[in-house]
Chains A and B, each alone.
Chain A
Amino acid sequence: MWKSAEALLVASALLLAAPAGAAPEAKGAPAKAGAQNVGGQKAAQEHAKPQQAVNVSTAAPAPAARAIALGRPALPEEIAAWNIDVRADGEGLPEGKGSVKQGEELFLHNCAVCHGEFGEGAGRWPVLAGGQGTLKSDRPEKTIGSFWPYASTVFDYVHRAMPFGNNQSLTADETYAIVAYLLNLNDLVPEGYVLSKENFPKVALPNEANFYEDDRETTEKAFWKKDPCMTNCSGEVHVTARAQILNVTPDGEAPKGNLE
Chain B
Amino acid sequence: MSDNQLPDTGRAAGNAVAPPLSRRRFLSVAGLGAGAAAAGAGALRPGPAVAAGPDPNIVPVPAWSKTLGPGVNVNPYGKPSKFEKDVVRREVTWLTASSESSVSFTPLYALDGVITPNGLCFVRHHGGEAEIDPDKYRFMIHGMVDKELVFTLDDIKRMPGRVNRAYFLECAANSGMEWRGAQLNGCQFTHGMIHNVFYTGVPLRAFLDMAGVKPKGKWVLAEGADAAVMTRSIPIEKALDDCLVAFAMNGEALRPEQGYPVRLVVPGWEGNMWIKWLRRIKVGDQPWQQREETSKYTDLLADGRSRRFTFIMDAKSVVTSPSPQAPLRQKGPNVLTGIAWSGRGSIKRVDVSLDGGRNWTTARLEGPVMPMAMTRFYLDFDWAGQELMVQSRAMDDTGYVQPTKNELRAVRGTNSIYHNNGIQTWLVRSNGETENVEVG
Interface residues of A (CB under 8 A from B): 7, 16-18, 23-29, 35, 55, 57, 60-61, 63-64, 68, 70-74, 78-79, 82-83, 85-89, 114, 123-126, 135-136, 140, 142, 144, 147-150, 152-153, 156-157, 160-161, 164-165, 167-168, 210-216, 219-220, 222-226, 228-234, 237-244, 246, 248-251, 254-260
Cross-chain contact A250 with B231 (CB below 8 angstroms): no
Cross-chain contact B7 with A231 (CB below 8 angstroms): yes
Q: Which residues of B contact A156 (CB under 8 A)?
A: 288, 290-291
Residue on B nearest A168 in the bound complex, by CB: B229
A253 shortest CB reach to chain B, Å: 8
A153-B294 contact, Cβ under 8 Å, with A16-B210, A60-B163, A260-B46: yes
- Can you offer 14 A-B residue contacts whose CB atoms are under 8 A? A16-B149, A85-B231, A114-B97, A161-B227, A210-B304, A211-B294, A211-B307, A212-B306, A230-B351, A240-B439, A256-B327, A256-B431, A256-B433, A258-B432
A138 shortest CB reach to chain B, Å: 8
Residue on A nearest B128 in the bound complex, by CB: A165
Contact with A along B138-151 (1 / 0, CB 8 A): 00111000111111
A210-B305 contact, Cβ under 8 Å, with A64-B161, A254-B327: yes
Within 8 A of A (CB), among B309-332: 309-312, 314, 324-331
Cross-chain contact A230 with B212 (CB below 8 angstroms): no
Cross-chain contact A28 with B305 (CB below 8 angstroms): no
Cross-chain contact B92 with A157 (CB below 8 angstroms): no
B400 interface hit (Cβ, 8 Å) = yes
The distance in angstroms between the C-alpha atoms of A248 and B184, with both chains bound, is: 7
Main secondary structure of the interface of B (DSSP, over half): loop
Within 8 A of A (CB), among B269-314: 279-280, 282, 284, 286, 288-291, 294-295, 298, 300, 302-312, 314
The distance in angstroms between the C-alpha atoms of A239 and B357, with both chains bound, is: 12
The distance in angstroms between the C-alpha atoms of A225 and B407, with both chains bound, is: 13
Cross-chain contact A238 with B440 (CB below 8 angstroms): yes
Cross-chain contact B300 with A142 (CB below 8 angstroms): yes
Q: Which residues of A contact B60 (CB under 8 A)?
A: none
Q: Which residues of B contact A148 (CB under 8 A)?
A: 294-295
Cross-chain contact B223 with A82 (CB below 8 angstroms): yes
Residue on B nearest A66 in the bound complex, by CB: B160
The distance in angstroms between the C-alpha atoms of A89 and B93, with both chains bound, is: 38
Cross-chain contact B359 with A231 (CB below 8 angstroms): yes
Within 8 A of A (CB), among B382-433: 385, 389, 393, 395, 398-403, 407, 411, 415, 427, 429, 431-433
B136 interface hit (Cβ, 8 Å) = no
Cross-chain contact A259 with B330 (CB below 8 angstroms): yes
Contact with A along B100-120 (1 / 0, CB 8 A): 110000000000000000000
Q: Which residues of A contact B440 (CB under 8 A)?
A: 237-238, 240
B355 interface hit (Cβ, 8 Å) = yes
B96 interface hit (Cβ, 8 Å) = yes
Cross-chain contact A254 with B186 (CB below 8 angstroms): yes
Contact with A along B350-378 (1 / 0, CB 8 A): 01000111111000000000000000000
B127 interface hit (Cβ, 8 Å) = yes
B177 shortest CB reach to chain A, Å: 9
Tell me which of A74, A87, A135, A152 contacts B300 (CB under 8 A).
A135
B260 shortest CB reach to chain A, Å: 19
B189 interface hit (Cβ, 8 Å) = yes
The distance in angstroms between the C-alpha atoms of A157 and B231, with both chains bound, is: 10
A29-B438 contact, Cβ under 8 Å, with A124-B97, A149-B289, A254-B185: no
Q: Which residues of A contact B142 (CB under 8 A)?
A: 74, 79, 83
The distance in angstroms between the C-alpha atoms of A97 and B237, with both chains bound, is: 37
Cross-chain contact B329 with A257 (CB below 8 angstroms): yes
Cross-chain contact A26 with B240 (CB below 8 angstroms): yes
Tell me which of B282, B326, B436 contacts A242 (CB under 8 A).
B436
